[in-house]
Amino acid sequence: MVSPLLTTTFKQEQQPLLFGIFLSIYLVTLLGNIVIILAIVSDPHLHTPMCFFLANFSLPDLWLASTTVPRMLVNIQAHRKTILWFIGLDVFLLPARAYDLLVAICHPLHYTLVMAPRCCTLLLVMSLILTQSYSLTHTILLAQLSFCIDGIIPYFFCELLPLLKLSCSNIYVNQCVLIYWGGALIISILLLIIISYVRIMAVIGRVPTASGKWKVFSTCSSHLSAVCLFYVSAIGVYFLPSSADSASKDRIAAVTYALVTPMLNPFIYSLRNKDMKNALGRLLSERAP
């Protein structure tokens, strides 16, 4: 989405610091996700359903960061206020990854049969369709609104909810779609993830040794970390009541799910995955002079 109305509340003396922070976040995000993708593509041992989803986590994270951060950096330097916004695939790929874990832990003998390339591709295509449908609906509804006055959005991005508050049109339909459709999606996805983990925990409970339990649970820890980081911050921005006092907290939550999460995801998955760490080591050793 594009908003020509966006102005920000950055103070002049804060802009160099913000520029440095956002540039550092972007470079780390770029490097981390590119390395993850290269490692998965170049190493035959990582041509698995799990790594297929990891690579497809990294791609939308790259798109999200490349859509928002460079524009933010240009705006800070040129003092312009137009911001582009991209909604990533993460919200729909996280439950797909939960299903992958469910099959791997609960039905290991059938894993390669169930998580065949056709199934992985179908889950990815469904995620793309749902993402684009949700984004397109909001874009079409937003195009019907009128903005009679300039206003201030105290966010780092062109967030949909505060943008709607600047409209002098009736935004009831927009709010209903955002709250009820968005809420239904979040609840449905979280339920799917919770159901998957209930079944996974039941399997972990039957493992006879503590070391065995921990080994199985550690397989899920990176996914759980990503789920908590992304959904908690996103829910905080879009579905919890906001007030003037919570404006700064909302901005922090927005930066967390839009910038910090894409930056941390490569570290979360690579540091907790032995095969990924080995592949990264081989990749870096091959690239070393």
pLDDT, one tens digit per residue, over 241-288 is 555 455 566 666 667 767 777 888 788 777 667 777 777 777 777 665
Distance of CA 57 to the CA centre of its chain: 8
Instruction: Quick: pLDDT tens for 207-223.
Output: 888 887 887 777 787 78
CB 88 within 8 A of CB 106: no
Query: Judging by beta carbons within 10 Å of its beta carbon (0-12, 13-18, 19+), is residue 24 exposed, middle or buried?
Result: exposed
* Confidence (pTM): 0.74
Q: Mean pLDDT of all residues in the chain?
A: 77
Planar angle of CA 108, 113, 119, nearest 5 degrees: 110
Closest listed residue to residue 163, CA positions, set 2, 275, 285: 2
Sequence length of the chain is 289
Long-range contacts of 115-121 (CB under 8 A, 24+ apart): 115/49, 119/49, 120/49, 120/52, 120/53
Domain with 246 in it: what CATH number? 1.20.1070.10
The listed range with the strongest mean pLDDT (77-81, 218-222, 235-239, 285-289) is 218-222
Number of domains in the chain: 1
What's the domain range around 118? 2-287
pLDDT at 122: 92
Helix (H, G, I), strand (E, B) or coil at 285: helix
Backbone angles phi and psi of 3, in degrees to 5: -125, 110
Q: Looking at the predicted structure, is the pLDDT value of residue 46 above 80? A: yes
Closest CA relative to residue 103, chosen from 120, 89, 87: 120
